[in-house]
Structure 1
Amino acid sequence: MTATMSAEKQTSKSAKILYRPWGLIGSLLGGLIAGQVFQQIWKRVDPQGTDDPPKPLESEYPLKKILVAAVIQGAIFSLVRALIARGGARAFERWTGEWPGD
């Protein structure tokens, strides 16, 4: 057995089912937090622009600006989602003794 295999935590079907509502709440909360973080970062990245980042269908913005906003937003959402998912899984494990993933 390799080190990775022995380090994996066992998950029961009931742990996965019990974690689903917590995971959903965490995802919603993560989306809200990531949106706020992105808004604040975008204000600093584009200080001359409006408060809102450009959307893909807004023709007054150049493609480069729209792509920069999309890359920043995607990175922030991925990071926040990973942090919240991992933190939620660890909290669930502390409360129940079972890892909810895998």
Structure 2
Amino acid sequence: MSTVSKAFYKPLSLGMSVLGGLLAGVVFKQVWKYVGDNDVEAPDPKDLNRSVQEVLIAAAIHGAVFGLVKAAVDRAGATGYRALANEDPK
């Protein structure tokens, strides 16, 4: 990757990461509304009034959603970069 290409890809990648994080948060909240017994907020691991099972399920779903969205956003960014720069962003 050329120096100009690297300089272009870094801010693009950073912006895509921020958007991906925001999107993942929205997706997780929607999933949790469906899974979490009508709780709007996922349980805080330090909230001892919530069950261990509920906290661990929320953490697993949170991790899966963020991982999936991050991979999708990274892939979309790399594909878009390749379309614009005619090279892979490695």
Number of equivalent positions? 90
| Alignment of 1:84 onto 2:73 | yes
**Structure whose alpha-carbon radius of gyration is higher:** 1
Compute the TM-score of the two structures, normalised by the length of structure 2.
0.91
Is the contact between residue 15 and residue 99 of structure 1 (CA under 8 Å) also seen in structure 2?
A: no
Letter in 1 for 2:46: L
Aligned to 1:27: 17
Is the contact between residue 89 and residue 100 of structure 1 (CA under 8 Å) also seen in structure 2?
A: yes
Identity of aligned residues (%): 39
SS of residue in 2 equivalent to 1:80: helix
Cα drift, residue 32 of structure 1: 0.5
Compute the TM-score of the two structures, normalised by the length of structure 1.
0.81
Letter in 2 for 1:54: P
The gaps in structure 2 that reach 5 residues or longer are none
The gaps in structure 1 that reach 5 residues or longer are 1-10
| Alignment of 1:37 onto 2:22 | no
